[in-house]
């Protein structure tokens, strides 16, 4: 069931060094790889992990190849090549097609013959499930919603009415797409619900992690661009727009109408305030708060690292007096200026 190393080299467009007839049957981390395993080293410093193990073959860059003397596949980007190799060794299972007997599919829905609707799934009227799409067990596809070709709703995913999930997407269990945005008008002490009339429109090749939520737009749409990757437990509020190929780590919260550029990376637990814009190619480190627009590409942070609580408590207490401290500093500077003036004006 394995693949010969020479065949892997061909498929990955890699330069083969060593035993092309070796059968590769698995993948492994460098420090635990065995004789049938393919592994990879993305940076030279990780070569030391190989002291305790000996992979059948190693994906390695041309600049590092001289530092390893075993079987090697020499490539431009070992990490990407590793991803591709793993996909070759462990191809995604062939998806079934048809409609499971226990599924509930409305007679006005359109399910392509090559698509699959799994056990206990619900597909509402006027929904469209395109060719090769996979609607897993317990999923819900709302009225007039479209699920694109080859997209996989893994299991227990909710896509409410009038939304669009593009082609080649993967959506994990517990995800909710198309819930109402948090929109109310204040009427004295009470809140009046503002109808949420927009949609969620998701591009191609998007992956959305478990239990993430994406609210529908208030009037316009919430939009997630092609190639965006979103981790677990992320909140995407109404009318947010996320640019192509942006990656968003777990537990991030993005408030309403925020616009995030292309190729951005938001670390875990980052917060993004509403009604602001983040330009392309911005990285925000984990737990930071983006409270106003970011107009220049780069790395941003407001994260604070934990230290022993006794120590931190004292620093945090001072932080609460920092403004006063700054005033005292200013006062001292004036006093010193004055004293210096006096001293210098004195005859030596």
Complex with a copy of itself: residue 112 or 194, whichever CB lies closer = 194
Which of 13, 9, 11 lies closest to 71, judged by CA?
9
Minimum distance from residue 46 beta carbon to a copy of itself (Å): 12
SS3 193: strand
Residue 7 has φ and ψ, to the nearest 5°, of -65, -40
Contacts of 317 (CB under 8 A, 6+ apart): none
Contacts of 233 (CB under 8 A, 6+ apart): 209, 210, 211, 212, 250, 251
Give catalytic residues, as residue numbers. 238
What CA–CA distance (Å, rounded) separates 232 from 214?
12
Minimum distance from residue 166 beta carbon to a copy of itself (Å): 15
Measured CA angle at 138 (ends 251, 214), to 5 deg: 30
Contact present, 289 and 307 (Cβ < 8 Å): no
Minimum distance from residue 107 beta carbon to a copy of itself (Å): 13
Contacts of 182 (CB under 8 A, 6+ apart): 215, 237, 238, 256
Complex with a copy of itself: residue 132 or 271, whichever CB lies closer = 271
β-strand partners of 98 = 116
Q: 325-334 burial, b for 16+ CB within 10 Å, e for fewer?
A: eeeeeeeeee
Residue 324 has φ and ψ, to the nearest 5°, of -65, -40
Measured CA angle at 255 (ends 316, 287), to 5 deg: 35
Complex with a copy of itself: residue 131 or 285, whichever CB lies closer = 285
Complex with a copy of itself: residue 69 or 323, whichever CB lies closer = 323
Complex with a copy of itself: residue 56 or 137, whichever CB lies closer = 137
Minimum distance from residue 29 beta carbon to a copy of itself (Å): 5
Complex with a copy of itself: residue 21 or 189, whichever CB lies closer = 189
Contact present, 271 and 285 (Cβ < 8 Å): no
SS3 202: strand
Minimum distance from residue 147 beta carbon to a copy of itself (Å): 16
Minimum distance from residue 12 beta carbon to a copy of itself (Å): 12
H or E element: which one contains 215?
A: strand 213-215
Minimum distance from residue 243 beta carbon to a copy of itself (Å): 11
SS3 271: strand
Complex with a copy of itself: residue 124 or 130, whichever CB lies closer = 124
**End-to-end Cα, the chain, rounded Å:** 94
């Amino acid at each position: 069931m394995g693949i010969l190393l020479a065949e892997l080299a061909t498929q990955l467009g890699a330069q083969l060094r060593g035993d092309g007839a070796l059968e590769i049957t698995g993948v492994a981390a460098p420090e635990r790889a065995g004789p049938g395993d393919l592994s990879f080293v993305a940076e030279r410093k990780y070569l030391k992990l190989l002291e305790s193990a000996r992979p059948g073959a190693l994906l390695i860059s041309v600049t590092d190849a001289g530092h390893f003397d075993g079987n090697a596949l020499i490539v431009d980007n070992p990490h990407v090549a590793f991803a591709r190799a793993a996909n070759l060794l462990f191809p995604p299972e062939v998806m079934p097609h048809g409609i499971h007997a226990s599924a509930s599919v409305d007679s006005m829905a359109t399910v392509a013959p090559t698509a699959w609707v799994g056990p206990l799934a619900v597909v509402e009227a006027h929904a469209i499930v395109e060719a090769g799409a996979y609607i897993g067990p317990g999923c819900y596809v709302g009225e007039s919603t479209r699920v694109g070709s080859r997209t996989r709703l893994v299991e227990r995913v909710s896509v409410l009415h009038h939304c669009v999930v593009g082609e080649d997407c993967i959506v994990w269990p517990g995800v909710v797409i198309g819930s109402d945005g948090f929109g109310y008008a204040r009427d004295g002490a009470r809140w009046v619900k503002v109808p949420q009339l927009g949609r969620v429109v998701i591009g191609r090749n998007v992956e959305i992690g478990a239990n993430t939520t994406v609210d529908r737009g208030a009037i316009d749409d919430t939009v997630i661009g092609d190639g965006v990757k979103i981790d677990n437990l992320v909140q995407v509020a109404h009318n947010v727009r996320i640019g192509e190929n942006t990656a968003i780590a777990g537990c991030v919260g993005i408030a309403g109408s925020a616009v995030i550029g292309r190729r951005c990376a938001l670390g875990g637990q980052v917060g993004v305030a509403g009604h602001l814009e983040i330009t392309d190619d911005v990285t925000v480190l984990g737990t930071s708060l983006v409270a106003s627009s970011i107009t220049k590409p780069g790395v941003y942070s407001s994260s604070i690292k934990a230290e022993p609580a006794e120590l931190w408590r004292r620093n945090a207490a001072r932080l609460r007096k920092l403004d006063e401290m700054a005033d005292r500093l200013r006062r001292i500077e004036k006093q010193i200026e004055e004293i210096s003036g006096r001293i210098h004006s004195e005859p030596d």
